[in-house]
């Protein structure tokens, strides 16, 4: 059974993998998303207090129903230039490691398993509500 924390950890791992060793990315001249020279960006990205599983993945309490936010700090303290690597500049194409991480097969497998469980829970809850409404209206439900 996958949790929201498992999904967030998988997302962080996939985005980190896009920084180093890199993933195929045709949008950059090298054909890779690799953004690693000194290791500073990867190190700061992985250790940033804003990139903990509790901060990355959380259930959105504002919207009705269920919606999840996955937020990564792409320019953490000590590696603020990460946002330029991620979004690009007028002189450098982007290497969007968070977006590339979101396309990772392993991440999507964990996400699909988590969402499948969530959908099952929501459907069962709705069926329970409908059952109660039918019974209160005098119908026999079997």
Tell me the C-alpha distance between 7 and 102, whole Å: 11
Q: Is the pLDDT of residue 86 over 90?
A: yes
Q: What is the pTM of this model?
A: 0.79
Q: Is the pLDDT of residue 23 over 80?
A: yes
Q: What per-residue confidence (pLDDT) applies to 66?
A: 63
Q: How far is CA 119 from CA 114, 115, 122, in A?
A: 9, 6, 5
Span 27-40, average pLDDT? 92
Residues ≥6 apart with Cβ < 8 Å to 69: 57, 58, 60
Mean pLDDT of the chain: 89
Predicted confidence (pLDDT) per residue in 98-136, tens digit: 999 999 999 999 999 988 988 888 789 889 999 999 999
């Amino acid at each position: 059974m996958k949790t929201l924390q498992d999904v967030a950890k998988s997302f962080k791992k996939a985005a980190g993998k896009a920084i180093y060793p890199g993933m195929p990315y045709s949008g950059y001249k090298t054909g890779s998303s690799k953004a690693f020279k000194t290791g500073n960006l990867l190190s700061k990205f992985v250790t940033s207090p804003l990139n903990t599983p509790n901060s990355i993945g959380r259930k959105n309490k504002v919207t009705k129903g269920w919606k999840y936010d996955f937020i990564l700090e792409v320019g953490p303290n000590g590696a603020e230039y990460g946002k330029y690597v991620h979004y690009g500049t007028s002189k450098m194409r982007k290497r969007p490691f968070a977006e590339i991480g979101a396309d990772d097969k392993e991440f999507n497998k964990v996400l699909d398993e988590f969402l499948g469980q969530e959908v099952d829970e929501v459907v069962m809850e709705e069926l329970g509500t409908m059952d109660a409404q039918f019974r209160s209206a005098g119908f026999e439900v079997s």
